[in-house]
Structure 1
Amino acid sequence: MRESIKENYEEILKASFSLSSQAIYLLNMNGNILYANENALDTLGYTLAEIKELYVWDIDVAVDNKKKYLNELNIFAKKAFDGKENVLESRHRKKNGEVFPVEIVSKFFKVNEDEYLISYARDITRRIRRTEEINFYFDLIDSSKDMIFVMDHESTKIEFANETACNILGYSLVELKDKKISEIRKTMENLDDTQLPEIFKKIEEESNLTTFGIYITKKNKEIPVESSLQLKEYKGKKFITAISRDISDRLEIEIKKEELNKKLKNYNKTLEKEISKVKKDLLEYETIMKRQSKMAAMGEMLENIAHQWRQPLSAVSVLSTGMILQNEQNILNKDLLDAGLNDINEQVQYLSKTIDDFRNFFKPNKQKNRFKLSDIIKTSIKLSKARYSKKHIEFIVNIEDEELFTYENELLQVLLNLITNAKDELIKKEYKKYIFIETKIDENYLYIRIKDNAGGIDNMIIDRIFEPYFTTKHNSQGTGIGLYMSSNIVRHMNGKINVRNTNVEHNSGVYLGACFEIRLPLAQNK
């Protein structure tokens, strides 16, 4: 048996090389390629006869001449003498000129006193792309204005914190990674007295959780926060991600609200001066709430911009990188340059158009203007759909178009508010989700109806949803001002808004949901 193996040793070796998932090259000390396995030949596009005519510098971009090759060989020899592994990253060039990144592991061996080098090369294109993506995501995380933490579910130790968290709390990342979350957080008794052990247990049951607490900075300053928690599993270990935001301003508003409510209960109705003061305080409070609502809308719009920009920015990066590589290889001719620049220009124009769409939403406009009903409905869907495209909510649109002469941005704000409310209820559901938008026109009025299949509104509260500060959401998710403001805006446009529960037929199915109807007089459009 041993004699048989000896006689067929070379064939056995070749068979082993051909089964390898890596490219394998056999080189002499002068840089000649003596052998390459099938993986290497398929990857580079050469035949075995062709590759035997080549040198290392014919396929390795980093080692593009004999001098560089011999210099690398000396470095390899020193590493081998020190007992270190010869591993490096480089780039290989295919027969067609395409260049790709590789990781190379090389070893020396002797045959009849002659030295040879065997190299194993692995395509690391995916790894590099993944690393770039990870770096991009970390840049986004660090640029967030919210504090972001990752904690070990079992030990409760902090594994990661973004720059915002480090800056606000006054700790370095190294200092935070040496702490348990209980060392920097305590409960907030007036909002949530749930203790940390209970939170860590509860999140195993619910996977997603919203909590309130107080972070303690390095200088012992207390910061009230709202935290959105998620449980994730990675390589058999469970981790909790926490996105926390400072709610000091919100709590201050709530305190003012409570103080004003107490004053209202104690005021004597006969004291006109006191009543006047309370009214003034309430107006100031409502102004604060409206400003907060607008800022929240701006935050959502900025997130939408990020979603809209991701794909074109990626395309611009790929196009520019491609032209750089083509230029390095001296294959970037005028046609390729023009084509690449035209493609980049198209993406930039798209980005510019996106900015215009979102900028127009926030542009102050107290004058009436003419616009098409279909355009404002498309805009409202576009602005709301960007952020929630992954929530699998389908828009069903059936409209009779009409030119309107009224307050465009105000009507857009109402439509966005109604769509957002429908979305907030739909994302809680597990079945197929729809938002229906339809319009009808008769002799006197335009009707805009926004319906959903979220199950409808509780009959006990449906008559109260347009009241100021009334909300079914947690304080952290809603102020109760949105529908109240929408009602005021429609009234300012001489219209009416109402809501009812209704059954909607679609695709042979019948769905129960809420139907908001806006009625605007057509006479004002003339």
Structure 2
Amino acid sequence: MGSTIILGFKEMKAIKDRFEFSYDNDVVMLSDLKKMSDLYVFDLVSTVHKVQASKVTWEEGIKAVMEAQQKSNRLWNSIKANTLTAEELQLIAETEPLVTSVNNVSNQLIDIMSQKDKTVLKTFRHDNLYSAVDPLIHKLAELSDVQLKQSKEQLQSSKISYIRSKNILMFGVLSVLFLSFFGTAYIVGIIIKKTKAIIKRERDLQVEELRNAIILLDTTGHIARIGGWTLNVDTMKISWTREVYDIHEIDVIQPLDFNTALEFYPPEVRPDLIAQLNECLTTGKNMDIELPFITTKGSRLWINIQANAQYKKGKIVRLIGSFQDITRHKYVEDELKRLNNNLNDMVIAETEKRLKQEQMLIQQSKMASMGEMIGLIAHQWRQPLNAVGITIQDLEDAYKCGEVNDKYIDNVVDTTMKQVYFMSKTVDDFRDFFIPSKEKALFDVKLNIEELLSMFGHVFSKSNIHVSLQVEEDTFAFTDGYPNELKQVILNILNNSSDAIVSKNCSKVQGTIEIGIGNNEDKSEVLLSIKDNGGGIPENVIERIFEPYFTTKGTDGTGVGLYMSKTIIETNMGGSLTVRNVDDGAEFVIRLITAERQSEQQQCVSAKVDYNFSKEEIMYLSS
């Protein structure tokens, strides 16, 4: 009787050991396989989708992919460390290269994500990632099926052993009667209870994990407005996830047939959809298309449809894809295009407005000195008019004295016409100065400055300021630009230099303004420098003198002259205007791009011209 009871206990212990082995070897391995599949689906593929949709940053995506890769490798090594059957070893051998392939693809994916290029990422996802992950998921599913089958066999074997051990124990119970009955029943009850608890716990765990996975997919799909679909190649039967039904705004019923599903798309886009589906079905090329879409309730949406082909024994058997509502994305995209177009129009309008304002400021700057210019014209006309008056008076006296003859008349006509020509030329010079240059023209910078100094040189001489023009040898001084505007710039700088000299020159020391013209080394630029001895510009304001409405002259200045000068040179003529302090004064430097050489004869010889007018010249410029 004792040996019978011992035999029963040994059998029960064997059952317990088999259950624990089954749990450690099969159930844990099943859990690892499930976790490994989830890593590839959720942590790898889903992360790529999130990066593509800008729901996570590139850095977060790279981190998630690396962590998924590390976790999956640890799980795979754990799976291979289990006690495996021949069938499992065969599947492990078939799965190993697929795991290696996914690891390689993951490394490539990390490199691509480091480049932060969504176009490349999208192509890689379709062409490489899916094709590497899908076969591995299927192979892991085969391993899971084998594990489930073995677990069932273990459970069946345990049931048989349990019945056998129960019979043995019952025999022992009958043998030892009342005494053995209580002990054996208690032990058997414990074993059965523990066995059922183990099985129930693992089954509940699997069910709970599956339920959580389904809830996760439904929730994330609803948030992203993305669902899944499959198309059976043989039957053309369509299967949808819940979110696809929600996007169509129809109840979750038996899936619609293929032709009915097409009716949700406007007729004009159906050929494109069918063409891409046929290409995916026949060649296996991944599908990715955006189409307008009309729901059952008439809502107009934009849809993105993606798919890839699934093979069995080298033949395409079905399509698996995603179906996403991208209406908001399209709206934002269209709105950005509209804003960009409006922004371009606004920039063009604002640019034109600013150019007009700048031209207006230039003209206002000229007109602001109109009174001074009229005074200059009057000054230059005064002596010629006096000369003409004297000549006419002399003509009357000569006539009375009988001195009028052909020679006298010729002399009077010649003298009078010289004065008239000088007066006419003065009017033309000032009239041309006030007319803005409408178009760029090729002109000689040296001649341009000489014309300016011939008009205003005597103004500076009256203030005891010596103005000189120095041209370096073989200087090419031609440029494309606005001649009158350049004169205005030069006059603005000369006036500023003159004001500085006059305000400083209490001791009546000779003021000087030196104008230099030359080229840079490769003669690609005309270099124009204007240097004075007016004491320079204070260092704390020199960086601001080109700002609009900034002036160092108090109420006597407007702060427009140098700002407009810089605008003319840099914006309108493509050059540069800078200033620096040198010696006992300031130096303004203008750089202008040289024009195409017309002839070597256009080069200037070295020359220095003084525009320091004598008192006699100031009194009578026509002499």
Shorter-chain TM-score above 0.5: no
Question: Relative contact order, CA 8 A, sep 6+: which one is greater?
Answer: 2
TM-score (norm 1): 0.43
Larger Rg: 2
TM-score (norm 2): 0.36
Structure (1 or 2) with the greater helix fraction? 2
Structure (1 or 2) with the greater strand fraction? 1
